């Protein structure tokens, strides 16, 4: 029991010490409560009046305003009017939901009436992200979120003057909150009888919120003349980014269009009404040519992300962009052969052009920050900094920023704007690329996109769908160029011109943002397009010449460097190309051509990193200029490391850092810890007698360069492993690799040496980090293992096979793991289960299938007696194989005697898998699958009558338990030991049910409670508990049997009336306990149920839930 609160204690003390003061305080509290109730009642009355009689409500308001001088419309009334035609919620419900939101956020004042947009936004955000909202308010939670979001949208439009409408647009995220509110509202059926919101009403609410969010733009939206409108061309694919539908015409009738999403819903509704049968052919599927769930019925719509109803009981996926929606409508247009029956008019919103007033030019870094959803604040225009919240997880992005000319510095302890949070900052305003239209060299004639697609398929080995996506991307980029009135065309450019167009477009922030939104598909398509144009010109322009498949010079250079695996000079690269005849040069001085191409590729390092392509890195080695190939990721890390090295040249000596780390950080330095940084500086001053001059960023660079990085901490290598421990680890690695093992897994090293190493802080992850940091020059280090052979391949199944064959008999998994100690134990276990050639002989014991040496003749003999058994019985049990072999082929059985019956069955199943179906222990004809349930059903149907001993013997023969449920369904149990055919018992159902009713005056009775059968009619067999169990379970009209399971030598359970309203056995047990004179604790309850015959044993997995339910039922009865 909880102790009393301080307020309660003080109140009791006041009552005892000063009774008069206590009663004065009590009266004041009652007056305040009454006043609050009156105010709430008045507010609710006004809400109801607004709904039932708006004219009278308005008259009362005007009279009140005239007498008090208050403005004509309060915030509450304005919100009710705002929401009146836009939701299915009455004012009373709006008040209730907003109050619940205020209670959830612990507001000291009602949310309804607050006009501070920032405060309301904070409430809306907390409600939207609240994980306990549903726990507290149940199925009302989603409706509360929706109404709070609506109120926030209203407050923004209510408080902001129309003339100050915001002109900056931001991508509106597709919000599924309102859609979810619909499904939650349909589910809820509370005592308050809350009105259910239909999917259509939710769709309307969705539009209201979107409209409110974008209402600030309406003041500056200019009307578009009719001649700026276009019709959707259903004959070809295209892009509809930055477009808005104006109207659509169906069968001569014109309909206004609000959005692409709404037009999709409306058109599908019209088509469903006219082409219902054809539409049902694609229900729960997609339009031909696509492979997602586009349309669904009531049973399948929950698989959609954002379903919307387009007809009663039928839904479509609405989480689509404009281009995808038009593609879907285009597919329906072709499917139903609509021709001119359907036309859609749309206009361009000019959302991506440089001249668009809605989307003014943005600085590259700002566009990137918004696209990545990063938190930032830009104060550079006022002499401040651009602050970006984030740690070293942004290193790749920071490197990209540095390539663009931004010099960003790291500050782990934050700034005034973002205190105690890691941030990056810069004051740079690098000059933006010149936006002047470049002079584009042109090719001869227009380029064939079909030829481009064929080039990708034949030369690059891309799939037809992927190549088609690249081709479509080029067409969409061309549409972007035309929409923005740029004076060039990709389809008329040569390779040089296309490269210039590529560079020009990637410098435009609006194009870069579109590219990011499309997961950089445009830049990838442009790269392939430029490569394509560098081939034979006649091919690019649709000529008949066949593709040669030859690589470009720079591609050949990259191949040479990859093959060499080491840095090379330009001369060495050229000699390798000539020696291996890799490229047919036609120039007079081919080496200078190679040099120019290599130099060009090197100058494109930043661009290639940005596009994710391989990069040429230049370095100085022994006075020679050499080049090597790196992936984009490796190159970015290498360049960043080079920059760090240059910054470290002015840092304090590392030996001074070592002295501090040894004394102050034996358990590592936390990477993001402000306290550890302060501790380092304090101990530095104590040890060296002077302050540490290096900045926090330099300190981190030093630790990164010299310490073992474990992800969260930096360690000195010698603090992780002593010299003796290091020698132990390296000796073990050398011993394993020199024994012929191709690889050694890190986890295996730790498992083998865990108890031999003296280090107190070492874990498996720390050991891996240590090896990666200190053994780069000794071994080839992969993600999960190390090796000393660059071409080593991991083939665990092959090694498992070798061990098994060398062992010569079934091997236990513990012995197998010990033999393969250089592999992780869990990976060995996984391989045993994945590969069917490893056969289980017993629990945790396996052998390779080839160890069961069976000739083709012997397999034919085994197949023959299996087939004979299948012809006779329709099935065979796998364990019978060994018995048959002993009877028919003793020599073969002797040779397989080292295997158990399970092992013999597994080996035969593997070798004859193409002739028969092996499903567990059951063998059937190929393609037919039978379970043990089917086997027992066949036994009952073919062998009844039979005894319990015969049934037990059959189960033992099958190495199976008895499937009692199946037995009772396929025959009748008439006593403890006898089973007969179902039709052998002459049931008199009305009289038997009447006899049971005499013993069951209530809802149920225990099966064991009926011990006297004088009132039961004769049915061909004497009545007993087993016969009664069979009757109630399978025959009775008025009663049913509820129990845990059938028992072999006992009966238990409850005989329950079918109209009792009890659907589950747990419900029956809860009702029994609630009405029984027993303590609702586990042991007494189990004992009572067992003694009464409801359960066989004093054990029940769901007993705790049953007791909880019983307590609730008992409390309801008082």
For the stretch 988-1010, pLDDT in tens is 999 999 999 999 999 999 998 89
Question: Which residue in 1057, 1024, 1041, 1035 sits closest to 987, CA to CA?
Answer: 1035
Residue with tokens 């923004």: 156
In which band, very low, low, confident or very high, does the pLDDT at 180 lie, cut at 50, 70 and 90? Answer: very low
Q: Quick one: pLDDT at residue 536?
A: 44
In which band, very low, low, confident or very high, does the pLDDT at 669 lie, cut at 50, 70 and 90? Answer: very high
Per DSSP, the chain holds a count of helices (H) and strands (E) of 48, 31
| Whole-angstrom distance, CA of residue 166 vs CA of residue 156 | 11
Instruction: Give the neighbor-by-neighbor strand order of the sheet with 307-311.
Output: 295-297, 314-317, 307-311
CB 315 within 8 A of CB 307: yes
Q: Quick one: pLDDT at residue 612?
A: 85
In which band, very low, low, confident or very high, does the pLDDT at 947 lie, cut at 50, 70 and 90? Answer: very high
Q: Quick one: pLDDT at residue 189?
A: 32
| Whole-angstrom distance, CA of residue 158 vs CA of residue 98 | 17
Q: Quick one: pLDDT at residue 175?
A: 37
- The DSSP result for 413-446, as a single string, is TB-SSSBTS-EEEE---PPPPP-SPPP--B-SSP
Q: Quick one: pLDDT at residue 479?
A: 87
Residue 541 in this model has a pLDDT that exceeds 50: no
CA 60 to chain centre: 55
Q: Quick one: pLDDT at residue 196?
A: 35
Q: Quick one: pLDDT at residue 12?
A: 67
Residue 195 in this model has a pLDDT that exceeds 50: no
Q: Quick one: pLDDT at residue 160?
A: 55
Q: Quick one: pLDDT at residue 1066?
A: 92
In which band, very low, low, confident or very high, does the pLDDT at 586 lie, cut at 50, 70 and 90? Answer: low
Angle between helices 91-104 and 141-159 (to 10 degrees): 100
CB 1030 within 8 A of CB 990: no
What single DSSP character describes residue 985? S
Give the pLDDT mean for 651-661.
86
Residue 524 in this model has a pLDDT that exceeds 90: no
Residue with tokens 């409306």: 266
Q: 1109: Cβ–Cβ under 8 A, 6 or more apart, which residues?
A: 1066, 1067, 1070, 1074
For the stretch 383-432, pLDDT in tens is 788 989 988 888 878 888 887 888 888 888 888 888 888 999 898 887 65
As a whole-number percent, the residues of the chain with pLDDT over 70 amount to: 81
Residue 842 in this model has a pLDDT that exceeds 80: yes
Give the pLDDT mean for 279-298.
80
In which band, very low, low, confident or very high, does the pLDDT at 776 lie, cut at 50, 70 and 90? Answer: low
Give the pLDDT mean for 327-332.
88
Q: Which residue has the higher pLDDT, 228 or 465?
A: 465
Q: Quick one: pLDDT at residue 68?
A: 42
Instruction: Tell me the pLDDT of the chain averaged across its residues.
Output: 78
Ramachandran assignment for 997, one of left (phi > 0), alpha (psi -120 to 50 degrees), beta (any other): alpha
- The DSSP result for 243-303, as a single string, is EEEEEEEETTEEEE-S-HHHHHHHHHHHHHHHSHHHHHTTTTS--TT--S--EEETTTGGG
For the stretch 136-163, pLDDT in tens is 777 678 788 888 888 888 887 776 544 3
What single DSSP character describes residue 1103? H
Residue 1046 in this model has a pLDDT that exceeds 70: yes
Q: Quick one: pLDDT at residue 444?
A: 46
CB 124 within 8 A of CB 175: no
| Whole-angstrom distance, CA of residue 742 vs CA of residue 928 | 44
Q: Which residue has the higher pLDDT, 535 or 200?
A: 535
Residue 377 in this model has a pLDDT that exceeds 80: yes
For the stretch 788-832, pLDDT in tens is 777 777 778 888 887 788 778 899 988 888 777 777 888 888 888
For the stretch 700-740, pLDDT in tens is 888 887 888 877 888 887 777 777 888 888 888 888 888 77
Element (H, E) at 600: helix 590-603
Residue 1023 in this model has a pLDDT that exceeds 90: yes
As a whole-number percent, the residues of the chain with pLDDT over 90 amount to: 13
Q: Quick one: pLDDT at residue 649?
A: 66
Residue 357 in this model has a pLDDT that exceeds 50: no
pTM over 0.95: no
Query: By CB neighbour count within 10 A (0-12 exposed, 13-18 middle, 19+ buried), where does 985 fall?
Result: middle
Q: Out of 157-171, 392-406, 1075-1089, which region has the weakest mean confidence (pLDDT)? A: 157-171
Question: Which residue in 1026, 1012, 1025 sits closest to 978, CA to CA?
Answer: 1026
In which band, very low, low, confident or very high, does the pLDDT at 221 lie, cut at 50, 70 and 90? Answer: very low
First-to-final CA distance of the chain: 22
């Amino acid at each position: 029991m909880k102790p009393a609160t301080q307020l309660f204690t003080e109140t009791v003390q006041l009552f005892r010490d000063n009774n008069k003061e206590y009663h004065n305080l009590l009266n004041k509290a009652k007056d305040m409560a009454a006043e609050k109730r009156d105010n709430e009642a008045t507010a609710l009355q006004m809400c109801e009046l607004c709904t039932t009689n708006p004219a009278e409500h308005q008259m009362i308001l005007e009279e009140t305003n005239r007498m008090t001088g208050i403005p004509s419309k309060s915030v509450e009334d304005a919100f009710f009017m705002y929401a009146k035609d836009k939701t299915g919620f009455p004012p009373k419900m709006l008040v209730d939901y907003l109050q619940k939101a205020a209670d959830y956020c612990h507001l000291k004042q009602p949310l309804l009436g607050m006009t501070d947009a920032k405060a309301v936004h904070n409430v809306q955000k907390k409600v939207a992200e609240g994980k306990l909202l549903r726990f507290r308010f149940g199925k009302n939670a989603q409706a509360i979120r929706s109404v709070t979001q609506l109120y926030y949208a209203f407050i923004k439009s209510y408080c902001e003057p129309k003339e100050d409408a915001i002109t900056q647009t931001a991508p509106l995220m597709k919000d599924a909150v309102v859609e979810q509110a619909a499904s939650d509202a349909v589910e809820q059926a509370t005592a308050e009888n809350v009105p259910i919101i239909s999917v259509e009403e939710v769709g309307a609410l969705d539009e209201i919120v979107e409209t409110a969010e974008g209402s600030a733009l309406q003041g500056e939206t200019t009307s578009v003349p009719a001649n700026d409108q276009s019709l959707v061309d259903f004959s070809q694919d295209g892009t509809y980014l930055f477009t808005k539908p104006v109207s659509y015409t169906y069968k001569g009738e014109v309909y206004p269009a609000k959005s692409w999403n709404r037009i999709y819903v409306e058109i599908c509704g019209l088509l469903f009404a006219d082409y219902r049968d054809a539409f049902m052919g694609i229900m729960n599927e997609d339009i031909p040519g696509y492979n997602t769930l586009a349309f669904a019925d009531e049973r399948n719509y929950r698989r959609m992300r954002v379903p919307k109803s387009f007809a009663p009981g039928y839904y479509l996926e609405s989480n689509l962009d404009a281009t995808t929606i038009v593609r879907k409508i285009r597919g329906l247009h072709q499917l139903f052969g609509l021709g001119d029956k359907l036309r859609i008019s749309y206009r361009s919103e000019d959302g991506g052009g440089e001249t668009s007033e809605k989307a003014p030019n943005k600085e590259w870094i700002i566009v990137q920050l918004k696209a990545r959803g990063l938190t930032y604040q830009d104060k550079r225009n006022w002499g401040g900094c651009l602050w970006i919240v984030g740690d070293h997880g942004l290193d790749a992005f920071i490197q990209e920023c540095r390539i663009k000319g931004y010099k960003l510095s790291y500050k782990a302890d934050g700034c005034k704007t973002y205190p105690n949070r890691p941030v990056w900052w810069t004051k740079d305003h690098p000059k933006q690329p010149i936006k002047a239209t470049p002079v584009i060299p042109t090719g001869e004639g227009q380029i064939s996109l079909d030829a481009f697609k064929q080039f990708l398929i034949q030369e690059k080995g891309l799939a037809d769908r992927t190549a088609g996506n690249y081709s479509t991307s080029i067409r969409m980029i061309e549409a972007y160029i035309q929409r923005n009135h740029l004076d060039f065309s990709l389809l008329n450019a040569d390779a040089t011109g296309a490269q210039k167009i590529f560079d020009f477009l990637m410098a435009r922030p609006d194009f870069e943002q579109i590219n990011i939104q499309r997961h950089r598909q445009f830049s990838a398509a442009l790269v392939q397009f430029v490569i394509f144009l560098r081939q034979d010109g006649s091919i690019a322009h649709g000529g008949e010449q066949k593709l040669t498949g030859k690589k470009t010079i720079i591609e050949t250079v990259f191949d040479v460097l990859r093959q060499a695996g080491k840095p090379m000079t330009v001369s060495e690269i050229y000699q390798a190309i000539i020696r291996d005849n890799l490229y047919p040069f036609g120039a007079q001085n081919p080496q200078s051509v190679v040099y120019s191409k290599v130099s060009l590729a090197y100058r494109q390092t930043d661009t290639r990193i940005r596009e994710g392509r391989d990069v040429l890195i230049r370095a100085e080695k022994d006075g020679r200029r050499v080049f090597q190939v790196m992936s984009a990721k490796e190159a970015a890390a290498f360049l960043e490391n080079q920059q760090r090295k240059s910054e470290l040249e002015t840092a304090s000596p590392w030996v001074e850092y070592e002295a501090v780390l040894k004394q102050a950080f034996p358990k590592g330095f936390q990477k993001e810890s402000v306290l550890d940084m302060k501790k380092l500086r304090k101990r530095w001053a104590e040890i060296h007698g002077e302050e540490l001059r290096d900045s926090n960023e330099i300190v981190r660079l030093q630790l990164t360069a010299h310490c073992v990085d474990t992800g969260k901490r930096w360690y000195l290598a010698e603090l992780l492993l002593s010299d003796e421990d290091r020698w132990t680890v390296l000796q073990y690695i050398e011993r394993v690799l020199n024994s012929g093992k191709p690889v050694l897994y890190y986890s295996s090293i730790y498992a083998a040496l865990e108890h031999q190493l003296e280090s107190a802080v070492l874990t498996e992850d720390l050991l891996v980090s240590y090896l990666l940091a200190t053994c780069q020059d000794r071994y080839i280090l992969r993600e999960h293992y190390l090796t000393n052979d660059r071409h080593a391949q991991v083939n665990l199944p092959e090694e498992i096979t070798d061990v098994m064959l060398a062992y010569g008999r079934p091997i236990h998994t513990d012995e197998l793991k010990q033999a393969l100690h250089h592999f992780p134990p869990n990976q060995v276990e996984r391989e045993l289960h994945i590969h069917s050639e490893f056969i289980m002989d017993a629990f945790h014991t396996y052998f390779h299938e080839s160890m069961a040496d069976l000739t083709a003749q012997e397999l034919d003999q085994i197949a023959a007696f299996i087939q004979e058994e299948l012809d006779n019985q329709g099935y065979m049990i796998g364990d019978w194989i060994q018995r048959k072999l002993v009877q028919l082929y003793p020599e073969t059985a002797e040779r397989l005697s080292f295997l158990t019956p399970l092992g013999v069955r597994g080996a035969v199943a593997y070798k004859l898998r193409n002739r028969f179906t092996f499903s567990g222990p059951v063998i059937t004809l190929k393609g037919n699958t039978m379970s043990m349930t089917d086997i027992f059903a066949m036994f009952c149907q073919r062998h009844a009558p039979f005894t319990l001993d015969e049934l037990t013997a059959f189960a033992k023969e099958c190495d199976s338990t008895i499937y009692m449920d199946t037995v009772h369904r396929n025959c009748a149990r008439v006593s403890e030991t006898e089973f007969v055919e179902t039709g052998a018992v002459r049931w008199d159902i009305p009289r038997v049910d009447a006899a049971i009713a005499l013993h069951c005056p209530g809802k149920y009775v225990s099966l064991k409670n009926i011990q006297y059968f004088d009132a039961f009619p004769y049915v061909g067999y004497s009545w007993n508990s087993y016969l009664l169990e069979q009757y109630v379970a399978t025959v009775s009209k008025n009663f049913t049997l509820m129990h845990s399971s059938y028992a072999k030598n006992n009966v238990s359970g409850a005989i329950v009336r079918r109209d009792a309203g009890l659907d589950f056995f747990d419900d029956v047990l809860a009702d029994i306990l609630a009405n029984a004179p027993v303590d609702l604790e586990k042991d007494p309850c189990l004992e009572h149920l067992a003694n009464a015959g409801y359960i066989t044993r004093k054990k029940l997995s769901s007993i705790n839930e049953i007791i909880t339910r019983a307590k609730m039922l008992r409390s309801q009865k008082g």
